[in-house]
Amino acid sequence: MIIDIQKAYDFTGKTFAVTGGAGALGSDVVVALAEQGANVMILDLRLNGVAAIKERLGKRASQIDACEVNVLNRESLEAARDAIHQRFGTLYGLVNAAGGNSPKATASPTMSFFDIPDDGMRFVLDLNILGTFMPCQVLAKEFAETGEGVILNYSSMNAYRPLTNIAAYSAAKAAITNFTAWLAVYLAQNYSGKIRVNAIAPGFFLGEQNRFLMVDKDTGNWTPRGQKVIDHTPMGRLGNPEDLIGCVLWLLSSASEFVTGITVPVDGGFSAYAGV
């Protein structure tokens, strides 16, 4: 049977939760899902971006809602779960877009790796690893009960090729790639083959966290680090948030119903290029 592609990307009646959904990358996922008919609950520690998302959606703004959530706090996640049920009903999909790095966990000319404080490393490891584990435990437990659902985690190029200076972040993203494969097998073998777990590994996207590592704030030119990234990206540019959407929607849709346990690079060819 040939799949009906148009139907596969119709999420009408399905409910998704997006952690980090008010952020730069997460907000585009929220908009894309809503535009395909989904109901979406934004889960974020800061909700100041929600108004802009609703404005982008126009008439579809009624399909989204938001909860202030700390992905490292189980009670916060449980409250979000209850809010999702009350607002939209049964949860079908979970996108774990929350994560990030910290200057306190980044080696630099003024701070050697050997001097990185424990709390800096713990923050980055917890935010990325536990911040993915715990939403899966609290929110995706419902999939084990209903027998279907999709989870999409956010890994990174750092999981494949660790970047200089950001040891904790690189290790955390590698753990997410590994956890994605583990959870995919666990859920399929113990609960249902209709529960799928995958991840994307974004390449270099310009955000507030890395803007002035990549671009000189005075001249607007690439920094030496930014130029290295461009030189090692065959497509010759940084990613735009919308570059992720095609892959995200595919992995969340029934068009990929036989795909689980993988991490897909979305990186302009960075992971394919050896530099020569």
Active site residue 169: yes
Residue 265 amino acid letter:
P
Token reading at 138: 């609290």
Residue by residue, pLDDT tens for the chain (276 residues) are 567 888 999 999 999 999 999 998 899 999 999 999 999 999 999 999 999 999 999 999 999 999 999 999 999 999 999 999 999 999 999 999 999 999 999 999 999 999 999 999 999 999 999 999 999 999 999 999 999 999 999 999 999 989 899 999 999 999 999 999 999 999 999 999 999 999 999 999 876 667 767 888 889 888 888 999 999 999 999 998 889 999 999 999 999 999 999 999 999 999 999 888
Residue 235 lies in a domain: no
The upper half-sphere exposure of residue 179, i.e. CA atoms within 13 Å in the direction of its Cβ, equals: 23
Token pair 């490891």 is at which residue?
A: 125
Q: How many domains, in total, are found in the chain? A: 1
Among residues 154, 160, 169, 273, the one annotated as catalytic is 169
Residue 214 lies in a domain: no
The pLDDT of residue 212 is 65
Nearest to 167 by CA among 120, 210, 213: 120
Residue 55 lies in a domain: yes
Nearest to 45 by CA among 25, 22, 28: 22
The pLDDT of residue 203 is 93
Give the domain range for residue 68.
5-204+244-268
Residue 225 lies in a domain: no
The pLDDT of residue 209 is 66
Residue 248 lies in a domain: yes
Residue 139 lies in a domain: yes
d(CA 262, CA 177) in angstroms, rounded, equals 8
Query: The pTM is what?
Result: 0.94
CA 53 from chain centre, in angstroms, equals: 17
d(CA 222, CA 93) in angstroms, rounded, equals 38
Instruction: Give the phi and the psi of residue 95 in degrees, each rounded to 5.
Output: -115, 120
The pLDDT of residue 241 is 85
Q: What is the CATH number of the domain that holds 193?
A: 3.40.50.720
Residue 230 lies in a domain: no
Residue 30 lies in a domain: yes
